Amino acid sequence: MKIAVAIAFAATSIAAVAAQTPIGAYGQCGGSGYTGSTTCIQGYECHYYSEYYSQCLAVTGSTPSANPTTAPKTTQTTDKPTTAPKTTQATAKPTSAPTTAAPTKQPSTTAPTAKPTTTQSTPSTATPTAAPTKQPTPSTSVPTPAGCTLSGTYVSGTDISSCTSVVISSLQVPAGVTLDLTKLKDSATVTFTGTTTFGTKLWEGPLILLTGTNLKVTGPGTLNGQGEWYWPQGQSVTRPVFFRLTHVEKSTLSGFTLKNSPFRTFSVLNSVNTVITGLTLDSKAGNGQAKNTDGFDLSRNNGVSITNNTVYNQEDCLAMQSSVNTLFAYNSCTGGHGVSIGSIGGAAVDSSDTVNGLTVTNNKIIDNTNGLRIKTIIDLKGLVTNVKYIDNTLTNVKNAIVMHSDYSKAKGGYVGTPTSQVTISDITISGLTGTATNLYDVVANPSVVSNWNWSGINVQASNKGSCKGQPSGVTCA
């Protein structure tokens, strides 16, 4: 009877929330063509970024600026990474509400599961808590709202599917094992605390895999990929992707640090209406050796927003392989290869080779090889269209504006003959300032480029550079 009442109450609450339709933390609350709610949840206010995007950000005690010009700072831990896992084993134990005493460790089964027994203690079990007014006891039928903690040494297959909230606290993930966050409940919260460290091994990874709907993944913890073990071995060895999102919908990632990525830091695939904001991606310890440590690598997504992040790496800050309706705003990118589209090209024009509707605005690109770059593959097809670069700032960049239709994957670089059949159309640059060595590096196929609109380019460059094949109306001067 109590379960029935609880379910009825939950259904009523959900209906009430749906009727109000406030926008969640870090969600979009305005912008050109936006038709959703402009009201944020309690504790958040709608911040205007540009005519294209507004976002719900936390109230900090004073009225937020209507047009912030700098990204909010994130807290970065300085925990020293360990290279060997602890001898203790991970327990996905229940966490109680703040007003209750801390729960004692529950005995576990011999395999990772949410159902505890009275037998020997083994690693990585996830047990839901009881109501806050009672001692924590596991549910063996319909799970009640539950909080679980993962700590110690992680074991593959740990069941967290019944946990409404998951705290990942200074976890040790063994080499060759993925921290699996693919079976989370809808609307679950994942919180990283302390430093979670991943063992080292030459494999594809990923080190973390996330799938789900209406998730909130937050910090203030640090994830340490121990890239310093991989980097000296060069680019020919197989290295793991750090954090992969696949089929993530209506979710937010915020407020934690990813340190020393072995390879690509974020790989975002087939995800919808998801926000990545306020993170620190820190691989500056590579000091030029941390090759292929892309910040954000995107493929086949719709409505992904990447805002207010701080990236130190030695590869693209943003690498758009494909995706539609993407926002990249108020990020700081240091030490890499710039904000890039590509390399793009396939046998036919499809979702894997299309970038449509990308806005890159109010970013700071510092000490990068490139500022804004599009590169497409020789003799292959695809589509890059409706791209807007608005009010970005460059500092000590080698090449400010780079657009090449002559990239060869086989040779790993430009070949000088722009035979790519990838259409590059409706490219707007409006407001680009700062410093660079070369202003332009354009080698385009004139038969597949059109409607480029460039204005407000005020970059102090040592050399003008060169443009070849650009559409009429664009003067590289």
pLDDT, tens digit (0-9, with 9 covering 90-100), for 317-357:
999 999 999 999 999 999 999 999 999 999 999 999 999 99
Among 340, 231, 341, smallest CA distance to 283 is for 231
107 and 217 part of one domain: no
Amino acid identity for residue 266 in this structure: F
3-state secondary structure (DSSP) of residue 398: strand
Are residue 106 and residue 220 in the same domain, yes or no? no
Length of the chain: 477
Are 401 and 371 in contact, with CB atoms under 8 Å apart? Answer: yes
The span from the CA of 93 to the CA of 96, in Å, is 10
The reply to whether 272 and 329 lie within a common domain is yes
Residue 13 lies in a domain: no
**Residue-number span of the structural domain to which 59 is assigned:** 18-68
The Cα–Cα gap between 447 and 471 comes to: 9
Q: Specify whether 146 is located in the same domain as 168.
A: no
- Could you tell me which residue, 53 or 239, shows the higher pLDDT? 239
Question: Residue 475 domain-assigned?
Answer: no
pLDDT, tens digit, 9 for 90 and up, residues 61-80? 433 333 333 333 333 333 33
Q: Categorize the per-residue pLDDT at 121 as very low, low, confident or very high, splitting at 50, 70 and 90.
A: very low
pTM (predicted TM-score): 0.76
Mean of all residue pLDDT scores within the chain: 82
Q: Of 153, 174, 207, at which residue does a domain stop? A: 153
Residue 395 phi, psi dihedral angles, 5° rounding: -135, 115
Q: What would the pLDDT profile of 80-111 be if each residue is shown by its tens digit?
A: 333 433 333 455 555 443 333 333 333 333 33
Distance (Å, rounded) from C-alpha 285 to C-alpha 170?
21
Residues 91 and 57 in one domain: no
Mean pLDDT for the stretch of residues 1-21: 38
Asked whether residue 12 is domain-assigned, the answer is no
Q: How many CB atoms lie within 10 A of CB 204?
A: 10
Peptide bond into 141 cis (omega under 30): no
The predicted-structure confidence for 248-303, as pLDDT tens digits, reads as follows: 999 999 999 999 999 999 999 999 999 999 999 999 999 989 999 999 999 999 99
In the predicted model, is pLDDT for residue 236 greater than 50? Answer: yes
CA distance 18 to 258: 34
Domain boundary among 127, 153, 179: 153
331 and 188, same structural domain?
A: yes
Give CA separation, 263 vs 39, 123, 256, 310, 475, in Å.
39, 29, 18, 17, 38
**CATH number of the domain where residue 267 is located:** 2.160.20.10
Domain-embedded: residue 79: no
For the chain, how many structural domains are there in total? 3
**Per-residue pLDDT tens for 215-226?**
999 999 999 999
Q: Are residues 147 and 158 in the same domain?
A: no
Longest dimension (CA), the chain: 77
Q: Give the confidence band of 51 by pLDDT, cuts at 50, 70, 90.
A: low
- Domain-embedded: residue 74: no
